[in-house]
Amino acid sequence: MKFFVKKGATLERKTACLVLGVFEGKLKEEFLMQVDRQADGAYLQAIQSKEFSGSKGQTLLLHGGAQMVAERILLVGLGKESALTLTALRQISSDVVKFLTEKQQGSFLLALSQLSFKKSGFEERVQAIAEGVLLADYRYDLYQPKNQPGRPIQLEKVTLLIDAKMDTAKAKAAVSAAEAICSGVCFARDLVNAPGNLKSPEYLAMQAVSMAEQTGIKAQLLDQRELERQGFGATLGVAQGSERPPYLIVLEYSGGHADAKPIALVGKGVVFDAGGISLKPAEKMDEMKMDMGGAAAVLGAMRAAAEMKLPINLVAVVPAVENMPSGTAIRPGDILTSLSGKTIEVLNTDAEGRLILADALTYVGRYQPRVVVDLATLTGACIIALGHQAAAVLGNHDRLIRQLLKAGERSGERLWQLPLWEEYGALIKSDFADVKNTGGRPAGAITAAAFLQEFAAKYTWAHLDIAGMAWEERGQAGRPKGGTGFGVRALIEYLRAEAK
């Protein structure tokens, strides 16, 4: 799909489809009266019959009257003008793409002129619109024929039409930002959607390396022998039940000053989580190919940051393993010695994410990061707490958490803070080792974070539990069924603010 930014008079351009936003309560604007004349009165008729009111996401497709320059005009409701958030714009633009591609329309002209942009906010609005388009145009069809009859088609060309007062260069920059961000989101979605038979830890490592080569990121892999040599006991413990060996993926992006401390991103990369000896139930176990959603978000954010050439230094650390039951798997009751030297009693082999993250969080300390953010599909308890509306954020630094909450809100990837009071730490003290890997059923998302905190005490740290957000079960406009790429947008929003 290609974006174009053009300047010109909205109702005078030839196009297969002109898309116009209409505010609720502003149905009689002059340009809409012109639309009505071009459509031989069909617009006012639709208003009178209450078929169209401009409510958010509503559509009205008008076909050409004798004077209509476009082949058709799609009116889309923007809702109340005062309530038009970035999230709403992104969603409406995804709705438009869904509507048109289902009708086999692959090109359209989207007019921005009627959005009375305030002085600020032009770029972020254009970015949100472009994101909505790109996110809705994504599909994972590696294993199916492309362009099946009756299915929505893929977009070819979208032209954003701006009016004389608007700044073309700014609009183009906003589109480029959206393209970079969504290339990261879609890369993450592809990784999550890849089936487990294809997606070995080695596959994840190779995908990371080739992405790094294409974007000018430095990549390094620690293989099993190296992990053994250095003492990644917790990671190796999880991996030992699988035939497929683990890797630690380390990426470095240097966009900032040579001596500036990096921001570190850590992502849980369990390519398939069967639970190990504490085997999961069969129902929905297929979804556990998404247990590397944190890794995908981190790799996607690295790609987006590099494509955007963010002036900042980044390190990404992704432990990639498979959690399987077998004769060589770890048992409940086993005690592992982590890279930090702390010993961990494994009470449940299905609480494997925190084990590999313990080592990764220790390892990343070597880079003297000024901030560490980890992302993980860590607990079912997080889904019980927040459902599929927000990821949980916890950490040891209030300002960092506030910055992440803000980035989440602005990017449309909601985060919600859970407490990490000291008292929770008592729940993961072990009788036989330094810590145990489960704290029982109460506050499961919090005790998981309390466990991670044991390994993140030396730096400013936040943890995002994205268990409820990495996978879309139903499929919606802009969020097709499967991997969502959740986290990339929030991370980039945070990193852009930090880079300023």
Distance in Å, CB of 322 to ligand BES, minimum: 12
> Looking at beta carbons only, is 10 or 379 nearer to ligand BES?
379
Amino acid letter, residue 31:
F
Binding part of the chain for Zn ion, among 40-48, 167-175, 271-279, 465-473 by CB under 5 A, reads 271-279
Pairing of strands 461-465, 371-376: parallel
CB 106 within 8 A of CB 158: no
The option from ligand BES, Mn ion, Zn ion, none interacting with 64 (CB < 5 to 8 A, set by class) reads none
Per-residue contact flags (x/-) with Zn ion for residues 231 to 270, judged by CB under 5 A: ---------------------------------------x
> Looking at beta carbons only, is 8 or 380 nearer to ligand BES?
380
Q: Using only the alpha carbons of the chain, give its radius of gyration.
A: 25
Our answer to whether residue 151 is catalytic in this structure is: no
Distance in Å, CB of 379 to ligand BES, minimum: 4
Pick the catalytic residue: 280, 342, 406, 481? 280
> Looking at beta carbons only, is 205 or 355 nearer to Zn ion?
355
Question: Which of 131, 137, 352, 454 forms a contact with ligand BES (CB under 6 A)?
Answer: 352
Binding part of the chain for ligand BES, among 72-80, 85-93, 109-117, 371-379 by CB under 6 A, reads 371-379
Query: By rule CB under 5 A, what count of residues binds Mn ion?
Result: 3
The option from Zn ion, ligand BES, Mn ion, none interacting with 297 (CB < 5 to 8 A, set by class) reads none
Kindly identify the residues of this chain, within the stretch 443-472, that bind ligand BES according to CB under 6 A: 444, 467
Kindly identify the residues of this chain, within the stretch 268-327, that bind ligand BES according to CB under 6 A: 273, 291
Question: Which of 273, 322, 345, 359 forms a contact with Zn ion (CB under 5 A)?
Answer: 273
Kindly identify the residues of this chain, within the stretch 259-318, that bind Mn ion according to CB under 5 A: 273
State the DSSP string of 399-455. Answer: HHHHHHHHHHHHHT--EEE----GGGGGGGB-SSSSEES---STTHHHHHHHHHHTT
Distance in Å, CB of 87 to ligand BES, minimum: 24
Contacts of residue 388, Cβ cutoff 8 Å, sequence gap at least 6: 468, 469, 473
Query: By rule CB under 5 A, what count of residues binds Zn ion?
Result: 4
Q: What is the Cα–Cα distance from 396 to 416, expressed in whole angstroms? A: 15
Our answer to whether residue 280 is catalytic in this structure is: yes
Q: Please give the C-alpha separations between residue 294 and each of 83, 319, 340, 488, in angstroms, as whole numbers.
A: 32, 10, 22, 10
If we measure between CA atoms, which residue out of 404, 403, 441, 443 comes closest to residue 423? Answer: 443
192-223 exposure pattern, b = at least 16 Cβ within 10 A, e = fewer: bbbebeebbbbbbbebbbebbeebebebeebe
The option from Zn ion, Mn ion, ligand BES, none interacting with 381 (CB < 5 to 8 A, set by class) reads ligand BES
Contacts of residue 364, Cβ cutoff 8 Å, sequence gap at least 6: 264, 266, 315, 317, 372
> Looking at beta carbons only, is 54 or 353 nearer to ligand BES?
353
CB 75 within 8 A of CB 111: no
Residue 438 sits in the site that holds ligand BES (CB under 6 A): yes
Rounded (to 5) percent helix, strand, coil in the chain? 40, 20, 40
Q: What is the Cα–Cα distance from 141 to 480, expressed in whole angstroms? A: 12
Enumerate binding residues for ligand BES (CB under 6 A): 273, 291, 348, 350-353, 377-381, 438, 444, 467
By annotation, the residues acting in catalysis are 280, 354
